[in-house]
Amino acid sequence: MPRRSEPRLTKRTVDALTVETKDSVFWDRDLAGFGVRVHATDRKVYVVQSRRPAGPKRVTLGRHGALSADEARKRAAVVIDLI
Q: How many structural domains comprise the chain?
A: 1
Q: Which residues of the chain have pLDDT under 70?
A: 1-5
- 39 in a structural domain: yes
Query: In whole angstroms, what is the distance from residue 66 CA to residue 68 CA?
Result: 7
| Residue 8 one-letter amino acid | R
Predicted confidence at residue 76, as pLDDT, reads 93
The verdict on residue 4 lying in a domain is: no
CA dist 29 and 8 (Å) reads 5
pTM over 0.75: yes
Is 2 a domain residue? no
What's the confidence (pLDDT) of residue 5?
61
Report the b/e string of 44-54 with b at 16+ CB within 10 A.
bbbbbbbeeee
Q: What is the pLDDT of residue 66?
A: 93
Task: Find the CATH number of the domain harbouring 57.
Answer: 3.30.160.390
pLDDT tens, residue by residue, 60-78: 999 999 999 999 999 999 9
Q: Where are the beta strands (DSSP E) in the chain?
A: 24-27, 34-38, 44-52, 55-63
Instruction: Tell me which residue range forms the domain holding 44.
Output: 11-82
